[in-house]
Amino acid sequence: MADAKVIPFDDDRSRGGGRPRRRPNAGRPRRGDGGGTGGEAALSALPGAQGAADDEGAERTDAGEARDDTAGEARAASAGRTAPPGAEAADAVAAALQSALTAALPRLLGGGWERRAADALGFLRRRLTGDYEVDEFGFDADLTDQVLVPLFRPVFEKYFRVTVKGVENIPDTGGALVVCNHSGTLPWDGLMAQIAVRDHHPADRHLRLLAADLVFMMPFVNQLARKGGHTLACADDAARLLARGEVVGVMPEGFKGIGKPFADRYKLQRFGRGGFVSTALRAGAPIVPCSIVGAEEIYPMIGNARTVARLLGLPYFPLTPTFPWLGPLGALPLPTKWTIEFGEPILTDGYPPEAADDPMLMFNLTDQVRETIQHTLYKLLVERRSVFF
């Protein structure tokens, strides 16, 4: 809609049209000017006067046509304006860069990077809004799945190149007790067992490890251990987890296994007094033996500085070919090739409740689990081509 045009009250033009309004006495000769009408007629009758008027009208017409032509040419030029030089080349370069970036992102970030980015944004939103759960033991499943497991997954897959066997022997639902051998000077084997269960089990279950009290006495480590699903290695905590239907992991050798010298590698130490068997019997949970090969060689322990260990309040202070001689670099584990095998479950739900108080039964079941793990270790060592490959 065109803008309304305000017409002043003293304008000579008509409000309804473009014709000039006739004023009173318009066209009449003025009095006292000696015949204005005759003068005007004389002016218009002069030779060349009409031609001048015609020329002036023609000039006005030509000027108007010229302005119209110029405006039309400007509008046509603006409507059909061509791109500046080099614009097409810049667009082509931008399109090529976009195509190359789109093709490179899956290779740089791996397949499914869009899903991982969406998961990361969802995790950040849940942390900011407090929309996550922590159980009575301090286990934060959301933090474990989104941060802790992805943090150690490259070590599992690329560094130790872990091969997982028999993980389907862990039941899909209900409680189960996974019993593992323990070795390696530092407890990398427990972390790798957790990732093996989480990433390879058909039901994506969590392995809740029972840890020594030393773990919960260390600043910062104790918080991460709790959030990652660890709890104190005691019968009460184990019984409560099994009653809730969790997969519980225990390493009965304890510090005797993880701190043994390299000369005793893959020789299982004493399994305690069989407390884990009693806990499984009371809960009616199956016992799944687990054998781990490859952890013994990550820190070949050739000595133990007992004096330093007593000063630091540690069960042992390892001396390896690289630690402490190379400083922090000596704490880097060797990239050995690992295999984790979960054996056939030993069922306990067929025993009566009072069987947990039978010392002979506990001894027999403990020895059965220990021998199963030891024989599996020997089998895996025979099948292994090399420590590193």
Scored b (16 or more CB within 10 A) or e, 142-162 reads bbbebbbbeebeebbeebbbb
- Residue 199: band (very low, low, confident or very high) from pLDDT cuts 50, 70, 90: very high
In terms of pLDDT, which residue wins out, 24 or 227?
A: 227
Q: Residue 89's pLDDT is what?
A: 76
Q: Percent of the chain beyond pLDDT 90?
A: 65
Q: Residue 117's pLDDT is what?
A: 79
In terms of pLDDT, which residue wins out, 117 or 212?
A: 212
C-alpha torsion sign, points 90, 91, 95, 101? positive
- Residue 84: band (very low, low, confident or very high) from pLDDT cuts 50, 70, 90: low
pLDDT tens digits, 310-367: 999 999 999 999 999 999 999 999 999 999 999 999 999 999 988 999 999 999 999 9
pLDDT tens digits, 260-283: 999 999 999 999 788 899 999 999
pLDDT tens digits, 368-388: 999 999 999 999 999 999 999
Average pLDDT of the residues in 91-108: 71
Q: Residue 354's pLDDT is what?
A: 87
Q: Residue 40's pLDDT is what?
A: 41
Average pLDDT of the residues in 55-66: 46
Q: Percent of the chain beyond pLDDT 70?
A: 75
> How many angstroms separate the CA atoms of 88 and 94, rounded?
10
Q: Give the range among 3-7, 175-179, 236-240, 256-260 with minimum mean pLDDT.
A: 3-7
The segment with the largest mean pLDDT, out of 110-119, 200-209, 353-362, is 200-209
Average pLDDT of the residues in 62-71: 48
- Residue 97: band (very low, low, confident or very high) from pLDDT cuts 50, 70, 90: confident
Q: Average model confidence (pLDDT) for the chain?
A: 82
Residue 6 has pLDDT above 60, yes or no: no
Q: Give the range among 109-113, 219-223, 267-271, 312-316 with minimum mean pLDDT.
A: 109-113
- Residue 60: band (very low, low, confident or very high) from pLDDT cuts 50, 70, 90: very low
Average pLDDT of the residues in 37-41: 41
Q: Residue 238's pLDDT is what?
A: 96
Q: Residue 10's pLDDT is what?
A: 44
Residue 132 has pLDDT above 70, yes or no: yes
- Residue 110: band (very low, low, confident or very high) from pLDDT cuts 50, 70, 90: low
In terms of pLDDT, which residue wins out, 90 or 17?
A: 90
Beta-sheet pairing, 303-304 with 318-319: antiparallel
Residue 96 has pLDDT above 90, yes or no: no
Q: Residue 14's pLDDT is what?
A: 41
